[in-house]
Amino acid sequence: MDYQELSKEVSYALRHAPWEYELELDENGWVEIDQLLDSLRFSSEWQHISEVDLNTMIAKSEKKRHEISNGKIRALYGHSIPHKIIKEAKEPPEILYHGTARYFVPLIKEKGLIPKGRQYVHLSVDVGTALQVGKRRDEKPVLLKVNAKNAWGEGVNFYLGNDKVWLADQIPSKYIDFE
């Protein structure tokens, strides 16, 4: 089984288009695993899929994108659906990073970091991860340093995605160090 392809499809279903799979996410983004499996099995590629495959998909992935608990599965970040997923607000580490494309920098200086097509701004705990994120859009990505703890102290909300990804509603540019 192509677990990378499966992960892409599960992310698409759980982050962007649950209605295409006849799924309804609860307020924290969870769906019944059986419902997701039933829906995936309509496609010939996944007709023999089982819960074991979802566990293998998560175990093999280089990023922790999905989580399984109590017969349910959810995406941990990345959502774009209109109904905002409720995340657990949490005090962030002192510094978080954001990797982006050079051509976005003037706009980010002006408006701060905004979620664009997603529900939250995505931040990384380490430089390497942030640069990888930025490389999706620019071969020479820009590394932004976010003074997360200061922002939190002044009322900006942060939320936990996974152990490497933090989320925020927006980050005003006064909390961002540009290279």
Contacting ligand HQG within 77-96 (CB under 6 A): 78
Looking up tokens 């280089």, which residue turns up?
A: 62
Binding mask 103-132 for ligand HQG (x = CB under 6 A): -x--xx--x-xx-xxx---x----------
Q: Which of 65, 66, 74, 87 binds ligand HQG (CB under 6 A)?
A: 65
Residue (33 or 113) nearer to ligand HQG, CB? 113
Nearest to 33 by CA among 89, 88, 73: 73
Among 63, 83, 90, 102, binds ligand HQG (CB under 6 A): 63
Alpha-carbon gap, residue 66 to 57, rounded angstroms: 9
Residue 29, CA distances (Å) to 35, 88, 95, 130 in order? 14, 12, 27, 24
For residues 74 and 13, give the distance between their C-alpha atoms in angstroms, rounded to a whole number.
10
Report the interface residues with ligand HQG, using CB under 6 A: 63, 65, 78, 100-101, 104, 107-108, 111, 113-114, 116-118, 122, 133, 137, 165
